[in-house]
Every structure is written in structure tokens, then in C-alpha cells.
Amino acid sequence: MELLEERIRRDGIVREGNILKVDNFLNHQLDIDLFEELGAEFARRFADAPVTKILTIEASGIAIASITARYFHVPVLFAKKAQSVNLDGTLYATKVESFTHKRVYDVIVSARFLTADDHVLIIDDFLANGCAALGLVDLVEQAGATIEGIGIAVEKGFQKGGQELRDRGYRVESLAIVESMDAATGEIVFRH
């Protein structure tokens, strides 16, 4: 998506350790006009999917999932990072390793809000090694719900998450795919 690529070129900062900082428009300060465009693009790409729920993970997925949900007119459910998990059947839980924080979280959703009738669109801001997305996939599968697809704002194509999800047969739509980036020069190359 040209608009997002231009914005990443203009405002993205490449950091050591394969981190692309986009906190002035995507995941700290939020450009809601841009989010409207990203939501509309997800709606175009998944127009044929009978989505009943959008699932994301706190915190940085929530804003983009919420704006996207305006186009699908369905609820947003966000997986919460939990301190302790009581597996009493009222919730689904999985473990997610945070790429940016280098620690493992338990993440949960209430079984009340994810059921076998749901057709789920997973939305997140970034796809790197795929831990967050695979955790969300696990929660949907525990509920017996159907995964309609995975919508990502920025995929770092040189990390393994996108390949792994596509190899498993999931429909992954990334609005910008970074092919390579260089912390020394700041150069960012996109895949088309």
C-alpha cells in the first residue's frame, strides 16, 4: 500500500536489532486519518470474508483493530496480557514471546467472547517472527472458531512469521512488507 510505504519512508526509523520505529504515527502517537485508510484497505482485501469478530493483542494492535472494525461492523476482542492464568474453562490462554520486550507473556481471552460460531479476522500492527499472530491463532483454534485471515499493517518480510503463517495455509494480507532495512544508512526496501 503506497500511502503506508511513503509514511514509513518519511517517518520510520530503523534501529539496531531489526526494529522499525514508527511511534510517531502507528504505535505511540496515532495518525487516525491514516488508520482510516488502513482499515478501508483491510475491508477491501477481506471483502469476501464473512467476518464476525476482529481479534488483536494489547496494546498496540487495539487502535488499528478498532478503526478496521468500523468497516466490518463487528466487535473487536483484544487478547490481554495476564499476570496469572486460572484455567477453569472460562478463558482461553496461550503464551506469546514479545519481540520488542524479549519476554514471554500469558495472553488470555474470555471464552464468553470467542465461540465456535465466530469467523475471526486477526489484526496486528507488526508481523516479525509471528509469535503474536500464532498466539492469536492458537486462541481462535481453542475456541473452535474459524480464522478468515490475518491482516497486518507492517510485515518485516525478512523475519520468519509471514512465511510460517502462509505455509500453514492462513491468508495473510500485509499492507506494507519490508524486504530489508539497514540501521546504518536508514534505507528501507519494500517487497512488491
**149 makes contact with ligand 5GP (CB under 6 A):** no
Cα distances (Å, whole numbers) of residue 172 to 14, 26, 63, 142, 156:
24, 19, 19, 20, 13
Cβ closer to ligand 5GP: 34 or 111?
34
Contacts with ligand 5GP in 3-62 (CB under 6 A)?
Answer: 19-22, 27, 60
Q: Compute the chain's Rg from CA coordinates.
A: 16
Q: Which residues of 107-116 are buried (b: 16+ CB within 10 A; e: fewer)?
A: bbbeeeebee
**124 makes contact with ligand 5GP (CB under 6 A):** yes
Selected range binding ligand 5GP among 37-45, 72-80, 128-136, 169-177, rule: CB under 6 A: 128-136
Of residues 39, 151, 157, 161, which one binds ligand 5GP by CB under 6 A?
Answer: 161
Could you list the residues that contact ligand 5GP (CB under 6 A)? 19-22, 27, 60, 99-100, 124-133, 156, 161
